[in-house]
Structure formats: C-alpha cells, structure tokens
Chain A
Amino acid sequence: MRLEDEYRSLRHGAALSRMDHVGLVRVSGDDATEAVDAICSGDLWVRDGRMLQTLILGEPGQPVADVYVCPDDDACVLMFEGITTEELSACLAEYADPELAIELEDLRPAYELISVNGPYAWEALSKWLTPDVIGLPYLSFYHFDRGTCFRAGKTGEYGYDLAVRSGYVERAWEELLELVGALGGGEASLETLDLCALENGFFSVRHASVEGLTPLELQLQWRVSARKRFPGAAAIEERRAKGMERRLTHFVAREGVESGDPIRDADGPVGQVTAAAFSPGIGGVAGMALLDLSVAHPGIDAFFVTGPNVERPIRTVSSPLLFNRSLLVDPHRHTYATRDETSDPPLWLGSLP
C-alpha cells in the first residue's frame, strides 16, 4: 500500500504491522525486578499485569533503549527498541549486582511481534481474541493460549502489540489482516508507524538526530528517577546543574523541511530540525526541532528553516499535533460499520504558516 493509504487505515480504521525492530526478553528469577531496576532510568513502580514505559541510558545520559517493563509473576518481560538482546544482556551484566539470581531468555525465536493500531483496532482484536480485550486498560497485558497481548502503541490511537508463537504467527497475520481489511485497513509499514509517532510526539530512539541529547532536552524527565542510581544518572545531574540550553519542540510547515535543517529568526540561529515528514493529516510537514530554551515554546510564527536561496516559515505547536479519532471512539458504543465522521472535528485543528 502507499503510505497515504496506510496512514488513512491507521488514522481512521485499523492497521496491522510487523514489529521486527522490537526486542522481547524475559528476565526471571527471585531478583528479576531488582536487576531490571538497576538498568532502567525510571522507578519501577508497576504492578503485575501492567506495563511501565522507561529508558535505558548510556553513561553520557543519552537514551539508548526505549523500554516497556512488564512484571509477570516472578519475572519481568521487557519489550524494547534501540538495542539488541545481546546489548541488553551486556547492560545487565555491567550494571546489575552480579550476586542477583536472574536468568535472561530471548523470546524472539519463539515469539514474533505484530501490532494492530487504529481507532477501531479494538474491534479487530475483540473478534480475533475475545470481547474482553475492550476492557484491557492502556499499558497492561494478558496472556492467551498462543501468546501475549500488550495494550500499548505509539500512534495516539488504540494500539495492541501481540507476541505470537512463531509457529502460529503466519496464520494469525492472515486472520488479523482479514479483520482489519473489514475495518477499511491493511498493512502499515514502519515508516507509517514512525510518522504517526512523530505526529503524536512519541519519542523514537531510532532517530539518529537524538544523539547527544538527554531526557532533559527530549522532554522525557518523567521517565527519569530522582531517587535512585542508574546508568547515565551522573550525566543527567551534571546537565541539570549546568542548566538546559535547548529543548525539543514540535512544529508544522507547508513544505520543504528536512531533518538537520538549521532554524533561525530575524536575529540569527535558534535551533535545528531533528525530524520532519509530510503528514497527510496536516496537509503539510510535521516536525520536531531542538530550539534554544528561551524560545522553545509552541505558538511562535517567527522562525524560518533556511536553505540555499530559500526561507521556509515554520510554526511551533503543542504536541500531540492531531486530534486522534480514538478520542472520539468508545468501544462500548461505537463500531466501524456504524461510524459517522461527518460531525467529527478535523484531525488537525490548527493552520499552516
């Protein structure tokens, strides 16, 4: 499918994606939680069956992995992107107390990850799994006979990540593809998932442009503990004491803006574009930029992206950029077949510069 078609599926119906870029491990043993706590930047205050979104930082304080921690009986399941399972294992070996009794199992050979996202994703899942999936709270999971269903997602829509036994995954894919097809959807590529994540302000550890940035500049302080030690904690404290100079800020533009482009105002440089992509929902470019802290605010029309012989205006905006359809869809009252979008507000409530 074309990206525009994939995008429409995901933003208005449901879309199915392969999650080959995501790692999945199970850390088990009496000290599993303590070991995972030692490598993650956030406080692991999360109950069995729930999920916590956190980070693993490098010593310079830069995020190297975006992680869901999922306590499951005497174990922790970790779903992560940004590093390999081998790198995660090395991180545990370096930072967790070697006396801790833990065992790490790579679940990827036995399971594959696929995801269903969209305002009606719950409808596909309720038919494929059980109607009870409608009541599954955001950031929680449950096991079924052939895998695990994680209620998560990074698109701003209803999202479900499914760890499905490898021997069953192709059948599951075909069945789910048929179900999302009935919801006006189909397959969505990683590119479409990334675009939707950008529009909704989700952090992507796979963007090369986040290199050298800490959770302070990335607006991810909520994923950083103020009470414990973790890899990168010293660098965070140092950056905090020194004072933050720049902050990630969202913007929109009509066209012609790319990652790495410099940004200036009438007086001179104020920052740099870190990510940008054309958004069908906005009808223009959605982007993120690292701006000088003194002007890192939404609602500013004074900036330009500069290139050879051209100046393109940008407008800083608040995140999320879209009014997601999932905010208007109630699984207990609505269905895709009986939907009426005529009275819905547009996806994008703003205007372009």
Chain B
Amino acid sequence: MTTNLSDYVSSREAVLDRVRRMLRDTMKLRIEPEAIDPDVPLFGTGLGMDSVDAVELVVQLDAVFGLTLAGSPWVSAKLRTVNTIVDAILELGNET
C-alpha cells in the first residue's frame, strides 16, 4: 500500500469510527460500533432512523464535526449511509 493510500485509509477509518460511535449514542443502539456497517442505510431499513432522529443527527454532526447540513442543498444525498456522512466530513476537511 502506498503512503498516500495508507494515509487516506487511516484518516477515513478514524472518521468512520467517530461517526459510528456518534450514531450508536444518538440512536441509543446496544451494539458495538463495528457492527454498524459503513454502507448501512440510515433511514427506512438499516438503522431505521426517522425524521426526529434526522434532526438530532444534523445537530450532532454540526456539534461534533462542524458539518453544517441544515438548509444546505441536496442534504438528503449526504445523509443516506454512514459512508456518505464520512464522505461529507472528509470533503469538509479538504475544503478548509
């Protein structure tokens, strides 16, 4: 694995771990963070979040990661799976 790839994977896994823990705490899930698959759907199936959970999630993402989604266009594209949240957080890091 090249250094660049290794660095990318390390930073991605670090953010993934933090998002998993945040989701577990927000949703009060009684499972280990590793049991939350990166591509698990957040709403409907998967974690089964609802609109109330979505509001709490948006607040938490802002508070923990500085990711401001409220009022942003195409917010629904960023809140589909754990991985799409991680993508949005990493994009935020690239922009700053």
Contact = CB atoms under 8 A, between A and B. Distances in A.
Q: Is the pairing of A and B real?
A: yes
Given A138-B44, A327-B77, A299 B90 contact: yes
A299 B87 contact: yes
Interface residues of A, number: 29
A350 to B, nearest CB: 10
Contacts, number: 74
A266 B2 contact: yes
A178 interface: no
Interface in B18-47: 31, 35-41, 44-47
Contacts of A250: 39
A222 B46 contact: yes
B5 A300 contact: yes
B29 to A, nearest CB: 10
B65 interface: no
A298 B13 CA distance: 11
A320 B40 contact: no
Interface in A284-314: 294-295, 297-300, 302
B56 to A, nearest CB: 19
Given A219-B37, A220-B37, A250-B39, A295 B46 contact: no
Nearest to B35: A221
Interface string B51-67: 00000000000000000
A319 B81 contact: yes
Interface in A83-118: none
Contacts of B9: 294-295, 297, 300
A349 interface: yes
B38 A219 contact: yes
| A220, A226, A297, A318: most-surrounded residue (chain B CB, <10 A) | A318
A161 to B, nearest CB: 15
Given A53-B45, A345-B74, 8 more contacts: A219-B39, A221-B35, A222-B40, A226-B35, A298-B86, A298-B87, A318-B39, A323-B74
Interface of B: 1-2, 5, 8-9, 12-13, 16, 31, 35-41, 44-47, 74, 76-77, 80-81, 83-84, 86-87, 90
